[in-house]
């Protein structure tokens, strides 16, 4: 089970690095989403397959050289989940037992502060829980398009 989860974390790091390099190469005007799996990762977006393959290979090389910062991104769903969780907790804390007029202002302020605090917390969670940037034994096996030219699977092997 540990290897399975570590493989997902490694592929999550590779997915992040690949998407960041795609954005650098193609510009921030396209929409893309990714999801890591134990045997690679999926990319959903209108991107050229050759650009995806080039960026995945480059991302792997960069992570293997120790450039671990590519594994952490503000675009990760972890940040969204942490922000929503912190904001919800702050809002609930502010509305408990207060009048509605006072609670509304306090809840808005607390929610904004919670979202600010969520940014470093989300990066910390990515670095320590949801990604693993040590890809020394990882190799890319293939880049395949599935069902359309907007859905790709990058297959990896983590040794």
How far is Cα 111 from Cα 97, in angstroms, rounded to an integer? 17
- Provide the 10 A C-beta neighbour count for residue 147: 7
pLDDT tens track for 115-151:
999 999 999 999 999 999 999 999 999 999 987 778 9
Q: What angle (nearest 5°) sits at the alpha carbon of residue 126, between those of residues 10 and 134?
A: 30
Q: Which residues of 121-136 are buried (b: 16+ CB within 10 A; e: fewer)?
A: bbbebbbeebbbbbbe
pLDDT tens track for 89-119:
988 888 877 677 777 888 888 889 999 999 9
**Total-model pTM:** 0.89
Question: Using an 8 Å Cβ cutoff, are 150 and 49 in contact?
Answer: no
């Amino acid at each position: 089970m540990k290897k399975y989860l570590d493989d997902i974390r490694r592929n999550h790091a590779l997915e992040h690095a690949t998407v960041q390099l795609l954005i650098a190469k193609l510009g921030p005007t396209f929409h893309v989403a990714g999801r890591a799996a134990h045997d690679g990762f999926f990319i959903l977006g209108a991107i050229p397959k050759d650009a995806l393959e080039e960026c995945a290979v480059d991302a792997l090389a960069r992570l293997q050289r120790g450039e671990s910062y590519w594994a952490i991104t503000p675009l990760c769903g972890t940040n969204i989940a942490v922000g929503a969780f912190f904001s919800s907790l702050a809002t609930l804390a502010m509305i408990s037992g207060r009048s509605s007029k006072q609670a509304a202002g306090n809840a808005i302020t607390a929610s904004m502060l919670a979202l600010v605090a969520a940014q470093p917390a989300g990066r910390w969670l990515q670095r320590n829980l949801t990604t693993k940037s040590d890809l020394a034994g990882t190799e890319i096996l293939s880049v395949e398009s599935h069902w359309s030219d907007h859905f790709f699977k990058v297959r990896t092997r983590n040794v």
